[in-house]
Amino acid sequence: MAAPKYTVFNVHEPAELMEFLMQKMAGISRNKVKALLTNRVILVDNAIVTQYNFKLLPGMKVLMSKAKNNVEFNNPMLKIVYEDAYIIVVEKKEGLLSVSTEQQKERTAQHILSEYVKKQCRGNRIFVVHRLDRETSGLMMYAKDERTQNTLRDNWHEIVKDRRYVTIVEGEMEKDFGTIETWLTDKKLYVSSSPFDDGEGKQAITHYKTIKRANGYSLVELNLETGRKNQIRVHMSEMGHPVVGDERYGSEINPLGRMALHAFKLCFYHPVTNELMEFDTPYPSAFKSLLIKKQN
């Protein structure tokens, strides 16, 4: 008979993961627990957890692998920023679809993450919550079960507190900050915009702040009040300042070899523990270089 691969601890009352493990393994040091988490040998409900203060709830199962966990994640297009039993936050590179389609199933963030979680446990799955355009890079979140997916989708505006992007647009922005509000209609190949509600479109609100103007470009930070398809791209184009590299919505130049749009900040209340989660990434270095290059 094969030896069990895990030591299993049942959770009977709320606790943080660090305290729980120190209590279950009398005499173990905090540094030793942190080493176990770093080595990815602690799982909660079949999902690797590396956060020492992860909130445990009654009914959960904490598993400790008998060997260093060999479920590693290494993909040049995708980086895992945070993972627990319910959600996974990633940073996606430009050029990668976030959601599988009939035409493209395998080279997508959803598929890559699905393969990864199935290595932890065969029945594990990845559930789509929101998406980023293929050519947009940055932070996004997936759910690891259908209940969490529904919680996030049904309560998105209450759960998500801050979602920000940075872009480089053509030309120098006229204002330092402002708000764009239109109604967007998905036309399959592109999204059209109307200044008034024609009964077909969905309201789209984008708040913007101009960070820097130089070399015929503007670096702009955007805060989405709504999350419509191609919202930022359409709104910037409407203002006469298309996103650099966005040929579909009017850009005629592509100095970076990519669309200059990056989701750099994601803050939300955890759908199960209600803890405020905050993630951010630096502005892409290529964005900054475009504004310091001297034009001939």
pLDDT digits (tens, 9 = 90+) for 172-205: 999 999 999 999 998 877 788 887 777 788 999 9
Residue ranges of alpha helices (H) inside the chain are 17-24, 30-38, 109-120, 146-154, 156-159, 231-238, 285-290
Burial of 231 (C-beta count, 10 Å sphere; 0-12/13-18/19+):
buried
Backbone angles phi, psi at 188, to 5 degrees: 75, -70
150 and 108 in contact (C-beta within 8 Å)?
Answer: no
Beta-strand pair 6-10/61-65: antiparallel
Which is the catalytic residue, given 133, 176, 186, 197?
133
> Catalytic residue at 176?
no
The answer for residues whose C-beta is within 8 angstroms of residue 203's C-beta and 6 or more apart is 181, 182, 183, 197, 226
pLDDT in tens, 27-76: 888 888 988 888 788 888 878 888 888 999 999 999 887 765 556 788 99
Q: What is the mean pLDDT of residues 128-144?
A: 95
The answer for residues whose C-beta is within 8 angstroms of residue 155's C-beta and 6 or more apart is 271
Structure tokens at 279: 């993630």
Chain-centroid distance of CA 130 in Å reads 8
45 and 121 in contact (C-beta within 8 Å)?
Answer: no
- Give me the domains of the chain, ranges plus CATH numbers: 6-65 (3.10.290.10), 78-154 (3.30.2350.10), 161-264 (3.30.2350.10)
Find residue 217's DSSP bridge partners: 170, 214
